[in-house]
Structure 1
Amino acid sequence: MPTRDQTIDVVVGDGHVSGTLITPGTQIPGVLFVHGWGGSQQQYLARAREVAALGCVCLTFDLRGHAATSAQFEKVSREQNLVDVVAAYDVLVGNPNVDSSAIAVVGSSYGGYLAAILTSMRAVKWLALRAPALYLDGGWELPKRQLHRDNDLVAYRQNLVPPADNRALRACMTFQGDVLVIESENDSVVPHAVISSYVEACTRAHSLTSRVIRGADHGLSDEDAQRSYTSLLVNWMTEMVQGARADTRIAPTNAPQPSSRESA
């Protein structure tokens, strides 16, 4: 196996000594986890550890308006949260152990919506969406909370949405990587029509896997539903990662390069 050498300084008391950090030369996939609205990275830490055990570098993070920055909850916008996701992606890809052509993004609810949009801005090979939400394109810079007051999202989500009418679906329509879409059977927040809108938008995907968690609600409040989601995600990631390793001829997904409480 090839290796990579990096000269480093080791601090010892008032001085330092020189060292050489030797790491495997083969880079490994990176996986970015994006939590839902009202959630936090804590919801994904256990799953991220399981995926990391497959031989991946995983990154979880808190969107602005959540956890330590919850004071911004009422004011943070989709635009700001998308900036958060892009910044987290760039940190992950900047890790020297990460293969930038083998990036997975996993998102739930609002996080799934943002993850879908990310694929139009950065190179993503694998996209896993659990109960991905949908929002109207208008009011992009407004506080996300205001969208629920200004728009009838319940009615909007009851019907199929044409990809041309929604930014997240337009991104899915051009995405050429592998896609996993997971639906909760008893989801009153993200109904079946939303899932169908995402699935039908993925017309150019290399592969599309759609699964339903029986008896599950939107937030996966039942422990069996939580375990089912973990199993579906880890099994799919195992298939994707092992498949990529077995076939080094797979080319990275084409995408634009950089320019400058769970609910939905």
Structure 2
Amino acid sequence: MTARSETIQIDIDDEQMSGTFLSPKSKVPGVLFVHGWGGSQERDLERAKGIAGLGCVCLTFDLRGHASNEGPGIPLSRVTREDNLKDLLAAYDRLLAHPALDTSAIAVVGTSYGGYLAAILTTLRPVRWLALRVPALYRDDLWHTPKRDLDKADLLDYRSTLVHAESNRALHACSQFTGDVLIVESETDDHVPHATIMSYRAACQQTHSLTHRIIDGGDHSLSDPVSQQAYTSILVDWITEMVVGERLSIIQSS
């Protein structure tokens, strides 16, 4: 997204001075946050408040079966990946309908399970920037099985090996993605090991840029406040560089 450039003349006494008005376009980028399994929008909301202050429309939400969406409807114990992917698509479409949004400038920020879903989303909706914090990985089979029923030991074994992009839906999506990607790893993560991060990195072959950051001493949930702050700094700096930097680029007048 670029800024408007308008050359003007400023009258002073009997003379004129040349000037240039630079103003942002009326539409602004959008940032969609997707929380992890068993989580909520609470932590995303705090980061979204800061990013909204940079001049973006942000949307956080609770996947069905989680947090404020507990109760009537699909219980967490029966939620499938298909259910939550539909949730993400509905949230994306709601963000896209915001009147202030530049629909060509959408960033998606996903954590763990949310990162996995966010990667798949890029094959179903236009996404320009993709931020993945400790993105989880799942086998393609049993897609319609409640996620809680998936074999945890098998998942950890799967994530501990290098998975090739052509054999996994989320990784294949990353291999086709041509925007900018941020991957944030936690050094002591016992849910998403280093091999999973490297599978995602290896898949990102056509990206415009790829940034990989490691939070030293950080665990999967960033239970240490210092790790939380480190991630916030990484994310905000990257969003500033990618999204806000794009907004402020200047059209050279012809």
TM superposition score category, shorter chain reference: 0.7 to 0.9
Aligned-partner residue type, residue 47 of structure 1: R
Query: Which residue of structure 1 lines up, in the alignment, with residue 43 of structure 2?
Result: 43
Q: What does 1:27-106 correspond to in 2, within 5 Å?
A: 27-71=27-71, 72-106=75-109
The aligned counterpart of 2:134 is 131
- Hey, what's the Cα distance between the residues in 2 that align with 1:247 and 1:125? 16
Q: Measure how far apart 1:146 and its partner are.
A: 1.0
Alignment of 1:198-217 (within 5 A): 198-217=200-219
Residue 160 (structure 2) aligned to one of 158, 161, 178: 158
- SS of structure 2 residue aligned to 1:152: helix
Rounded to whole Å, the distance in 2 between the matches of 1:96 and 1:242 is 19
4+ residue stretches of structure 1 with deviation over 3 A? 246-249
Normalised TM-score (structure 2): 0.86
Describe the shift of the 1:146–1:172 C-alpha distance in structure 2 as closer, same or farther (beyond 3 A): same
The CA deviation string for residues 172-212 of structure 1, in whole angstroms up to 9 with x for no partner, is: 00000000000000001000000000011010000000000
Quote the RMSD (CA, aligned, Å): 1.6
Spell out, residue by residue over 1:24-78, the C-alpha distance to the aligned partner (whole angstroms, 9 max, x if none).
9610000000000010001211100011011000000000110133341100100
The alpha carbon displacement at 1:242 in A equals 3.0
Deviation track 1:133-188 (CA, whole Å, cap 9, x = no partner) reads 00000011110111136x61111011110001110000000000000000000001
- Within-5 A mapping of 1:157-176: 157-176=159-178
Q: What secondary structure does 1:190 align onto?
A: coil
State the AA in 2 paired with 1:84: D
- Matched AA of 2:200: Y
- What amino acid is the match of 2:136? A
Output one character per residue of 1:87-139: Cα deviation in whole Å (capped at 9) or x when no partner.
00000010010001000000000000000000000000000000000000001
Unaligned runs of 5+ in 1: 3-23, 250-264
Task: Classify the secondary structure of the residue corresponding to 1:100.
Answer: strand
Distance in 1 separating the partners of 2:193 and 2:114: 16
Q: Distance in 1 between matches of 2:68 and 2:52?
A: 25
Inter-partner Cα distance in structure 1 for 2:184 and 2:217: 13
Write out aligned runs for 1:174-193 (5 A). Answer: 174-193=176-195
User: TM-score normalized by structure 1?
Assistant: 0.83
Q: Could you tell me whether the CA contact under 8 Å between 2:81 and 2:146 is conserved in 1?
A: yes
Q: How many residues get paired?
A: 227
Contact 2:36 / 2:112 at 8 angstroms: preserved in 1?
A: yes
Distance 2:163 2:249 in 1: 36
Asked whether the equivalents of residues 55 and 244 of structure 2 are also in contact (C-alpha less than 8 Å), the reply is no
1:104 partner SS: strand
Aligned counterparts of 2:68 and 2:210: Cα–Cα separation in 1: 36
Classify the secondary structure of the residue corresponding to 1:127.
Answer: strand
1:122 maps onto 2:137 in alignment: no
Deviation at 1:244, TM superposition (A): 1.1
The residue type paired with residue 136 of structure 1 is: R
Match of 2:222 in 1: 220
Question: SS state of the match for residue 77, structure 2?
Answer: coil
Q: Which amino acid aligns with 1:75?
A: R
Match of 2:18 in 1: none
Amino acid at match of 2:92: Y
Question: Distance between the aligned counterparts of 1:126 and 1:56, measured in 2?
Answer: 13
